[in-house]
Amino acid sequence: SEGAELLGLMHYMEGLRLLTAAELVAPTSDENVTVTDTEFSHVPVRLYLPRRAPGGLRRAVLFFHGGGWCLGDAGMHSYDLVSRRISNELNAVVVSVNYRLAPPHHFPVQFEDVYSVTKFFLQSKVLSQYGVDPVRVCVAGDSAGGNLAAAVAQQLPEDPEVKTKLKAQLLIYPALQALDLDLPSYRDNADKPLLPRPLMVRFWSEYFTSEPALREAMASNSHVPAQASPLLQFVNWSRWLPAEMHKAHAYGGPVPGGAELAQRYPGLLDPRASPLLASEARLGRLPPTFILTCEHDVLRDDGTMYAGRLRAAGVPVTHHHAKDAFHGAMTFLSWPLELAVGHRLLNTCVGWLEDNL
DSSP label of 71: S
In 3D space, the residue among 89, 97, 84 whose CA is nearest the CA of residue 35 turns out to be 84
Distance in Å from the first CA to the final CA of the chain: 50
In 3D space, the residue among 341, 1, 40, 12 whose CA is nearest the CA of residue 201 turns out to be 12
Distance, in Å, from the CA atom of 324 to the CA atom of 329, rounded to the nearest integer, reads: 10
**Which of 133, 297, 301, 302 is labelled catalytic?**
297
**Which of 65, 106, 320, 327 is labelled catalytic?**
327
Distance, in Å, from the CA atom of 94 to the CA atom of 36, rounded to the nearest integer, reads: 11
In the residue annotation, 143 being an active-site residue is answered as yes
* Bridge partners of residue 319, in order along the sequence: 291
In the residue annotation, 191 being an active-site residue is answered as no
**Which of 78, 87, 143, 274 is labelled catalytic?**
143
| Dihedral class, residue 67 (left if φ above 0, else alpha if ψ from -120 to 50, else beta) | left
Report whether 227 contacts 256 (CB < 8 A): no
Distance, in Å, from the CA atom of 11 to the CA atom of 72, rounded to the nearest integer, reads: 16
3-state secondary structure 262-312: HHHCHHHHCCCCCHHHCCHHHHCCCCCEEEEEEEECCCHHHHHHHHHHHHH
In the residue annotation, 327 being an active-site residue is answered as yes
Catalytic residues: 143, 297, 327
